[in-house]
Amino acid sequence: MESEERPPARLSTARSRELGEELRRVRHRSRMSSGFVAEALGWSLGKLSKLETGTRGTSPCEIGTLLGRCGADKPTRDRVLAIASEADTGSFLRLHDSSPDTLTALSVHEHTARTVTVYEPLTVPSVAQTEDYAYALTRNRTLTQARMSRQEVLRRTDGPEMVIYLHEASLRLVVGDPKVMRDQLLRLALMGGWPHISLRVIPMTAPSHVALRHPATLMTFATPVKPLAYTETDTATVFHDAPDAISAYQTKIRHLERLVLTPAQSRDVLTRWADAYDRDTRS
């Protein structure tokens, strides 16, 4: 068996952790233990463990050998090898092949985040949507179910501290019908009282600012893992952990914090809109 090399210590990156999680999932699907795979490849157990946690790298050739030993299918091999061959620039894009909510880069980091700060300008953020709202927005049952499953991770008792910024425009935009909106607004008002969650509204009267234009999410982790930011588009999600990009997202969030209502005022706005939609359902 190959002895464990000792390359210079390095911090994992968002992309290396994504790659490691992809490899771990491939091995788990093959029902092979880490010890069995390491021995079959002539690797040390430490090498495989560090590769799966993103704290060491290896060549695309060795990764291809690992994928073949675990019996990965061709689409999986192609996807994982594409990740392994990318330059680690601090930014990367992941296409939405099925649902943005099932991206490995997203799930592996949401499971380990200490804090998550989310902003959406025109819709309720995915992490706070009701099932009916998500379906009315997407008209896709597969995506809706993936979104509901993802929310379970974020709502667990040991989950991250979460701050959700909503623009009041998202409360005015009717998704589905008044009943869907009433239930969604009641859910938001309820979430504002959950442990670990702060839900803040940016009112329509807030002054215009460039920080309001685009959605954004920023996650932080236990030291020494660097923060990770991402923005979802119609067809892809773009991830950043480069220091300059993270600094830009942190500046954006500081600007948003200057525009939001207090928690009590935010709850009042949510309740007021829920009442308005409730009246519409009875008219």
Residues 6 or more apart in contact with residue 274 via CB below 8 angstroms: 182, 185, 186, 189
Q: Assess if residue 5 is contained within a domain.
A: no
Q: What is the pLDDT of residues 28-79, one digit of tens each?
A: 999 999 999 999 999 999 999 999 999 988 899 999 999 999 999 999 999 9
Quote the CA–CA distance of 215 and 271 in Å, as a whole number: 24
**Same-domain check for residues 168 and 35:** no
Quote the CA–CA distance of 165 and 2 in Å, as a whole number: 50
Do 232 and 215 touch, CB atoms closer than 8 A? yes
**Same-domain check for residues 106 and 224:** yes
Q: Assess if residue 6 is contained within a domain.
A: no
pLDDT for 10 equals 59
Q: What is the pLDDT of residues 179-231, one digit of tens each?
A: 999 999 999 999 988 889 999 999 999 999 999 999 999 999 999 999 999 99
CATH of the domain at 265: 3.30.870
How many domains in the chain? 2
Structural domain harbouring 81: 14-85
Q: What is the pLDDT of residues 74-106, one digit of tens each?
A: 999 999 999 999 999 999 999 998 789 999 999
Residue 138 pLDDT > 50? yes
**Same-domain check for residues 115 and 227:** yes
pTM of the model: 0.90
**Same-domain check for residues 106 and 169:** yes
